Amino acid sequence: MSYIKPKFRHPNLPTNALGFTVADYDGAISTLCAGCGHDSISAAIQNACFLSAIPPHRIAKLSGIGCSSKMPTYFLGKSHGFNSVHGRMPSVATGASLANRELTYIGVSGDGDTASIGMGQFVHLIRRNVNMAYIVANNGCYGLTKGQDSATADLGSVSKYGSTNPFDGIDLASLALLQGAGFVGRSFSGDKEQLEPLIRAAMAHKGFAFIDVVSPCVTFNNHLGSTKSYTETREHLDSMPLDFVPMREEISTHYDAGTTQGVTLHDGSVIHLHKASSDYQTDDRNAAMISVQNAKDEGRILTGLLYLDPNSQNLDQNLKLATKPLNEMGKDELCPGSRVLNSINEGLR
Amino acid sequence: MKQIKGINDFMVKFANVNGTGSASANHLFAKAIFRMGIPVSPRNIFPSNIQGLPTWYEVRVSSKGYLGRRGGVDMMVCVNPQSMEKDVASVAPGGYFLFDNTKPLAQNLKRDDITYFGVPLTEMCMREYDNPRLQQLLKNVVYVGAMAALLDIKFSILKDLLSDQFKGKEKLISSNVHALEMGYQYATETFNCPLPIKLQIGGNVAPHILESEHILMNGNTAAALGAIYGGATVAAWYPITPSTSVVDAFAKYAERMRIDPGSGKKNFAIVQAEDELAAMGMVVGAGWNGARAFTATSGPGLSLMSEFLGLAYFAEVPVVLIDVQRSGPSTGMPTRSQQSDILAAAYASHGDTKQVLLFPATPRECFDMTVQAFDLAEQLQTPVIMMSDLDLGMNDWMSPPLEWDDNYQMDRGKVLDADGLDSAEKWGRYLDVDGDGICYRTLPGAHPEKGAYFTRGSSKNEMAVYSESGDDYVQNVDRLLRKFETAKDYVPAPKTHPPIEVKKTKTKLKLAALFFGTSASPAYEAVEILADRGYPINTMRIRAFPFHENLDRFIDDHDLVFVIEQNRDGQMRQLIMNECQIAPVKLTSVLNYSGTPITARAIVRQILESLDTKSADIVSLHPETA
Ligand SMILES: Cc1ncc(C[n+]2csc(CCOP(=O)(O)OP(=O)(O)O)c2C)c(N)n1
Ligand code: SF4
Ligand SMILES: [Mg+2]
């Protein structure tokens, strides 16, 4: 690995602990439709990385295929990225994280990419607990192929073409909870206050961290009758505001103790939940599933940090992977040499 | 009756029931012959089933060292009543038939042109052992004992092998040795031992074999060792016969050789994926991130991996795939051998793709080529597919020992690290600086400011910036073709052999044969037989795709070229026609695609037949040879 050299910056631009400004986390200009929810998520990821002062080059961005999967081009231009194949980013991310356990991995996917073609890989990614933040930009449709219903479209939601969806939608957050994900969050692309700390916490979590982000598609799924339009989503949001304090900062909370709850992550960072009304407990998987379901029954979307187990065993730990990244190992570590081979030959005679 | 005779030259076939422990007893038989220094090639012919179906084990003994399947049966050892009728019928006239005569042989199974040996295997084991599992298992060892007497196998070698096999389990050794002795004694007392077919140490064994220090191993184990020595750290796979044992063996060796001495942690990762798509995805992800990664699969898995192979080709990610071929499709004959993935692998994926293929013919080559595959994949930044097959992968082959040069250095190809990026004048991921089509890649995390890029399929320019411009696309795929040309100099060259001298030639045509992989052994044998009969044939063994320039010249130098392979459509012939601009009439297919490995006999027959019918065409093409 290499280290960041201190930089001189214009004193007026706020810098993070590494001396970077938010511009250092810029990507290319977005080519998504103006107003697309995905662009807000890109901005939130960019800001989250800046605030958490992660060196851009130590982040790898991976995605599948779709408008949402194009997003990694539009943030963190100094990070490597991989736009892989439709629905298969989970496997690529798994392999990448095995090769180098030291980087921070951000996976970006869509609801089509994850809940349909990629469903198998998604579930197995959770099961393996790969150390990464996995963000689904969920617009209830296939943006890039022009607006077909996706598997997360809600029952009764009306498509741009006027048809009503007769199938119940797949709720990815519930699925992640059921499958044992150690970090499950949900948010809305328009809720920067909530989304940013959630992303920061997801990146700090030492295991699989899932965030389902409702992200309206202004072109194909933002009309009357769509349940994932801006107006619908805003009206039905059941939002728990969050705050995130990384390990490096002094942990002194300015929230009223009666209304906030601090959860310490594995790396020492703390995520603060601002409790609205409910007595939400983030450490109770079953309660989380019930809360999500209850909200759904009432036609509301429960957002915030839904569940967190800071001590879940991730894939690297389960495989007893060496501390040194596999991609840095050389002949000495890997090749047993001629003497060993000769003894193998002996055993085959 | 004229009995079949032969010292160190015969074929024994065992007919068993799947799941009864016969495989290890039959292996013991073959290994003992190998330890006597006599060339032997065992083959397991098994059903896609865990227990209860017929299974066969062929053991060919060949003083000259021919390792290909021979065909025909000189002696049958039949312990499966289900298949007995067919098994009796398959013995060559003058051959031998050993069976369990606890129950008398049915009248319709009696032939008067073969010799029968009844051994009361069941009765003996019921009498000697009270544990039902032992009764079944040791029946197999009893017939090995009887065969040792009949064929003159050195008894002490069998005993040594059992001691090796059950090291530390004294009770098992003694019960097995007891069973061996029982069979041996019964045969010595009852039959006229040894038979006219028998073994003899030294004897007529070809000198080049006597002098060598061969090992007996299967190709999958050799490939797994290749992955260990080649520095593979990530293996992702999905179980499928006949490739499963590649990863099984990799896991076994890695657990022994890849544990970090300080921490006890692993210098490797193995993931059993949810399917082959994911297996290949993981390999692509790990390769992209700079680890040496591989997967092993067979036909159906290759189909599923196809989309990713295309991505890896265009995104230029190193990938190693070991394809152990079998008959297709999924519900086809999954435990039978073929060479039928050639075209699917060579052009794997949609769009304009060409993949680098390696064709090992021996376990030694499985080892060497797997090591080389990891270098090639990184040098060429592309998938490399090693095309093994069930016959090579799962059967034991007599092979030259594995060799390792301790000076070997992994060639990681053109990768720029932080220093490299700092000293590079200008860097673009797809800039062909050296003109060989191979560009410089960078790994995530290497440099704080430089070298980051977005990996994607084909919509990009030389600087790795998103582009849908036709010019950029064309420039990129043309460069990929240039890279494929460069690959010709990197991949293993074909092997030619000096022609065999023929005293009286029966043809004026210049004949040649092309083959690869497991077709090689029977092909060399066939060429010797044909030389004896007056047909000199030059040979070239193809070892890689893209094809070496020599291949074109070799074909040009001959009037008629036989392409010997194990599939229906002559896939290698098609690939050659396609890639080398060869007139179809010049290449004649010699094929076997029944699921059992091709034999020298079949090759000889097909070549002689086609010489009868084809010469007219050739004469018209080459008047000067008429
Ligand atoms: C194997 C395969 N099938 C189909 C496609 C076509 N395709 C591209 S994007 C897409 C849907 C993307 O939907 P989603 O993941 O929800 O992303 P969005 O565009 O809505 O953000 C499809 C079907 C493809 N690229 N690959
Ligand atoms: S089509 Fe929809 S999802 Fe795609 S960029 Fe436009 S608004 Fe976003
Ligand atoms: Mg979508």
Mutate to test the pocket of ligand 1, among A32, A63, A86, A222 (most ligand atoms within 8 A of CB): A86
- Is pLDDT of A249 > 50? no
Q: Which residue of B has its CA nearest to A339?
A: B404
Contact residues on chain B for A327, CB-CB shorter than 8 A? 233, 286, 289-291, 443
pLDDT at B498: 79
What is the SS3 assignment for chain A? Answer: CCCCCCCCCCCCCCCCCCCCCHHHHECCCCCCCCCCHHHHHHHHHHHHHHHCCCCHHHEEEEECCCHHHHHHHHECCCCEEEECCCCCHHHHHHHHHHHCCCCEEEEEEEHHHHHCCCHHHHHHHHHHCCCEEEEEEECCEECCCCCEECCCCCCCCECCCCCECCCCCCCHHHHHHHHCCCEEEEEECCCHHHHHHHHHHHHHCCCEEEEEEECCECCCECCCCCCCCHHHHHHCEEECCEEEECCCCCCCCCCCCCCEEEEECCCCCEEEEECCCCCCCCCCHHHHHHHHHHHHHCCCEEEEEEEECCCCCCHHHHCCECCCCHHHCCHHHHCCHHHHHHHHHHHCC
Helical residues (DSSP H) of B469-595, grouped into ranges: 470-490, 520-532, 549-556, 571-580
What pLDDT is attached to residue B581? 85
pLDDT of residue B521 exceeding 90: yes
**What share of chain B has pLDDT > 90, as a percent?**
91
Q: Are B222 and B363 in contact (CB under 8 A)?
A: yes
pLDDT value, residue A282: 87
Residue A139 Cβ < 6 Å to ligand 2: yes
Q: What is the pLDDT of residue A247?
A: 62
pLDDT score for B499: 79
The span from the CA of B283 to the CA of B322, in Å, is 12
Are B285 and A348 in contact (CB < 8 Å)?
no
Smallest CA–CA distance, residue A204 to chain B, in Å, is: 18
With CA atoms as reference, the chain A residue closest to B235 would be A95
Is pLDDT above 60 for B481? yes
Residues with CB under 5 A from ligand 3 (ion): A 110-112, 139
User: B218 to chain A: nearest residue by CA?
Assistant: A348
A137 CB near ligand 2 (under 6 Å): no
> Which of B295, B374, B404 to mutate to test binding with chain A, by most A CBs within 10 Å of its CB?
B404
Q: Is A33's C-beta closer than 6 angstroms to any atom of ligand 2?
A: yes
Q: Is the pLDDT of residue A253 over 50?
A: no
Distances (CA, A) of B205 to B38, B66, B467: 7, 11, 65
From the candidates B429, B454, B466, which should be mutated to test the interface with A, based on the most A CB atoms within 10 A? B454
Does the pLDDT of residue B589 top 70, yes or no?
yes
Cα of A50 vs centre of ligand 2, distance in Å, is: 26
d(CA B392, CA B217): 10
As a 3-state breakdown, chain B gives helix, strand, coil percent values, each rounded to 5, of 40, 20, 40
A217 Cβ inside 6 Å of ligand 2:
yes
**Per-residue confidence band for A274, with pLDDT thresholds at 50, 70 and 90:** low
% of chain A at pLDDT higher than 90: 75
Ligand 2 atom 2: residue of nearest CA: A217
Taking the CA of residue A116 as reference, the ligand 1 atom at the shortest distance is 15
Dihedral class, residue B558 (left if φ above 0, else alpha if ψ from -120 to 50, else beta):
beta
Same fold? B217-399, B495-625: yes
The region that residue A156 occupies, defined by phi over 0 for left and psi between -120 and 50 for alpha, beta otherwise, is left
By alpha-carbon position, which residue is closest to atom 6 of ligand 2?
A: A33
Q: Is the pTM of this model over 0.90?
A: yes
Query: Could you read off the pLDDT of B141-156 as tens digits, one per residue?
Result: 999 999 999 999 999 9
Reported residue count of chain B is 626
Find the residue in A nearest to B217 (Cα).
A348
Confidence of residue B292 (pLDDT cuts 50, 70, 90): very high
- Cα B535 to Cα B166: distance, rounded to the nearest angstrom: 50
Looking from the CA of residue A138, the nearest atom of ligand 1 is 16
Residue B625: pLDDT over 60 = no
- Chain B neighbors of A345, CB-CB under 8 A: 213, 215, 401-402
Chain A residue closest in CA terms to B460: A83
On whether the CB atoms of residues B443 and B415 are closer than 8 A, the answer is yes
CA–CA gap between residue A99 and residue B299 (Å, rounded) = 27
Percent of chain A residues topping a pLDDT of 70:
88
CA nearest neighbour of B19 among B55, B59, B58: B55
Return the DSSP state at B586: G
C-alpha distance across the termini of chain B, in Å:
47
In chain A, the residue whose alpha carbon lies closest to the alpha carbon of B261 is A333
**Domain B495-625 CATH assignment equals 3.40.50.920:** yes
Residue A161: its pLDDT value, please?
Answer: 87
Which residues from A are below 8 Å from B457, CB to CB?
83
| Structural domain B6-212, CATH architecture | 3-Layer(aba) Sandwich (3.40)
Smallest Cβ distance to A341: which of B258, B277, B404? Answer: B404
Min Cα–Cα distance to chain A from B5, Å: 28
Asked if A4's CB is within 8 angstroms of B273's CB, the reply is no
Distance from CA of A1 to the nearest CA of B (A): 6
Task: Give the residue-averaged pLDDT of B511-533.
Answer: 96
Q: What's the pLDDT band for A261 if we cut at 50, 70, 90?
A: low
Q: Which atom of ligand 2 is nearest to the CA of A39?
A: 8
pLDDT in tens, A46-66: 999 999 999 999 999 999 999
Query: In the structure, how many helices (H) and strands (E) does chain B have?
Result: 20, 25
Residues flanking ligand 1, CB < 6 Å: A 65-68, 86, 110-113, 137, 139, 141-145, 150
Least confident piece of the model among A125-134, A247-256, B268-277, B285-294: A247-256
Q: Would the pLDDT of A265 be above 70?
A: no
* Contact (CB, 8 A) for B356 and B585: no
Compute how many other C-beta atoms are within 10 angstroms of the C-beta atom of residue A162: 8
Residue of B nearest to A76 (CA): B452
| CA-closest residue to ligand 1 atom 4 | A86
- Does ligand 2 lie within 6 Å of residue A230's CB atom? no
The pLDDT of residue B373:
98
Find the B464 Cα to ligand 3 centroid distance in Å: 26
Q: Which atom of ligand 1 is nearest to the CA of A114?
A: 15
pLDDT band at A132 (very low <50, low <70, confident <90, very high): very high
Give the model's pLDDT for residue B623. Answer: 35
β strands within B101-252, DSSP E? 115-119, 197-198, 215-218, 234-237
Domains of chain A: 22-315 (3.40.50.970)
List beta partners, residue B385: B321, B357
pLDDT at B225 over 90: yes
Residues B3 and B433: their CA atoms lie apart, in Å, by: 71
> Among A39, A74, A113, A160, which is best to mutate for testing ligand 1, by the most ligand atoms less than 8 A from CB?
A113
Atom of ligand 2 at shortest range from CA of A67: 4
Look at residue B92 in the predicted model and tell me its pLDDT.
97
- Nearest bound ligand to CA A220? 2
Q: Which ligand is nearest to the CA of A113?
A: 1
Whether residues B267 and A124 touch (CB distance < 8 A) is answered with no
Q: CB contact, 8 Å: A10 with chain B?
A: no
How far off is chain B from A340, nearest CA to CA, in Å?
9
- pLDDT band for B622, please (50, 70, 90 cuts): very low
Interchain pair A88, B278: CB under 8 A = yes
- Residue in the block written with tokens 């005569």: B101
Task: Name the residue at shortest CA distance from atom 10 of ligand 1.
Answer: A66
Contacts of B216 in chain A (CB under 8 A): 348-349
State what percent of residues in chain B have pLDDT above 70: 98
pLDDT of residue A278: 56
Q: Which of B216, B217, B274 sits opposite A120 (nearest CB)?
A: B274
> Quick one: which H or E segment has residue B183?
helix B170-190
Cα A186–A191–A197 angle (5° rounding)?
A: 65
Q: In which band, very low, low, confident or very high, does the pLDDT at A246 lie, cut at 50, 70 and 90?
A: low
Spell out the domain ranges in chain B. 6-212, 217-399, 415-490, 495-625
- Least confident residue range of A70-84, A204-218, B612-626: B612-626
Q: Is B445 within 8 Å of A60 when comparing Cβ atoms? A: yes
Looking at residue B556, its pLDDT comes to 95
Q: What is the pLDDT of residue A276?
A: 47
A137 pLDDT more than 90: yes
Tokens, residue A94: 């798994």
CA pair distance B163, B182, nearest whole angstrom: 17
Tell me the shortest Cα–Cα distance from B402 to chain A, in angstroms. Answer: 7
CA angle B282, B283, B286 (to 5 degrees): 85
Q: In terms of DSSP H, where are the helices of B323-362?
A: 342-346
C-alpha torsion angle, residues B335, B492, B522, B140 (rounded to 10): -40
Give the mean pLDDT of chain B: 95
C-alpha span between B89 and A133 (Å, rounded) = 66
Residue A272 pLDDT grade (very low, low, confident, very high; cuts 50, 70, 90): low
Task: Tell me the residue type at B173.
Answer: I
pLDDT over 70 at B554, yes or no: yes
State in Å: Cα A35 to ligand 1 middle. Answer: 20
Q: What is the pLDDT of residue B174?
A: 94
Cβ–Cβ of A323/B263 closer than 8 Å? yes
Question: CA B373 to CA B366: how far, in whole Å?
Answer: 10
Give tens-digit pLDDT for A302-313: 999 999 998 899
Mean pLDDT of A134-146: 96
Does residue B165 carry a pLDDT above 50?
Answer: yes
Tokens of B167: 């090291």
Domain B217-399 adopts which CATH fold? Answer: Rossmann fold (3.40.50)
Q: Give start and end residues of each alpha helix (H) in B9-153.
A: 22-35, 84-90, 121-128, 132-151
- Contacts with A337 from chain B: Cβ below 8 Å: 404, 406
What pLDDT does residue B626 have? Answer: 29
Average pLDDT for B247-275: 97
For residue A172, give the nearest of A181, A161, A162 by alpha carbon: A181
Count of CB pairs separated by less than 8 Å, A with B: 235
The CB-side HSE value for A272 (13 A sphere, CA atoms) comes to: 17
Q: Write the residue with the smallest CA distance to atom 8 of ligand 2.
A: A36
- Give the distance from CA A88 to its chain's centroid: 16
Of A131-140, A273-282, B219-228, B239-248, least confident by mean pLDDT is: A273-282
Could you tell me the distance, in angstroms and rounded to a whole number, from the CA of residue A221 to the centre of ligand 3?
Answer: 9
User: Residue B619 pairs with which residues in a beta bridge?
Assistant: none
Q: How confident is the model at residue A11 (pLDDT cuts 50, 70, 90)?
A: low
ipTM of the complex: 0.94
